[in-house]
Structure 1
Amino acid sequence: MNGKLRQLAETARQKTWVSFTHENDPYSLLHWSVAGPYHDKKDVWLLQNEMTFETKEFATLNDAIAWLGEHMPHITEVL
């Protein structure tokens, strides 16, 4: 795991949310849980492109980090 990816993972674990840039596009990775009388329970990590609002869900933070390592190798800034 490279330094930026490690920093991203550590920040997400501590704060349950982190923003970063990949090839100059802003992204957010956040823990999303929904529950209540009118909502199905959901407990996922959500990756969102902040320009297009496209999202991808992961069952665990480790799954999200593994996917990022494979598909987004050029993380330039962890915000």
Structure 2
Amino acid sequence: MNQKVKSLKQTAQNKTWVSFLNQNHPYSLLHWSIGGTESVKKDVWLLQDEMTFETKEFDTIEKAIAWIGENMSDITDVL
């Protein structure tokens, strides 16, 4: 796991969310325990594209980090 991906995981675990850039494109990784207008209860991690608001859902932070590590090779900033 490269240093940027490790930093993503540590920040997300500490704050329950983290924003980052991949190929100069903004994303957020966040924990969603309650959401939506009807307070839908979930216990998932969401990877959200901040330009289109499309999300990808993961059961655990480990699965989310593994997917990011395999599919996002140009992370430049962890915010």
Provide the TM-score with structure 1 as the length reference. Answer: 0.91
Superimposed CA distance per residue, residues 32-57 of structure 1 (whole angstroms, 9 cap, x where no aligned partner): 0127xx54421100000001111000
Superimposed CA distance per residue, residues 21-79 of structure 1 (whole angstroms, 9 cap, x where no aligned partner): 000100000000127xx544211000000011110000000000000000111111000
Question: SS at 1:19's partner residue?
Answer: strand
**Which residue pairs with 2:50 in the alignment?**
50
Specify every segment of 5 or more residues in structure 2 that has no aligned partner in the other structure, as ranges: none
Q: Which runs of 4+ in 1 moved over 6 A?
A: none
Alignment: residue pair count:
77
**Sequence identity percentage:** 65
Provide the TM-score with structure 2 as the length reference. Answer: 0.91
**Which residue pairs with 2:6 in the alignment?**
6
Greater Rg over alpha carbons, structure: 1
Question: SS at 1:51's partner residue?
Answer: coil
Change (3 A) 1:78 1:41: same
- Cα distance in 1 for partners of 2:48, 2:41 equals 20
Equivalent residue letter for 1:25:
H
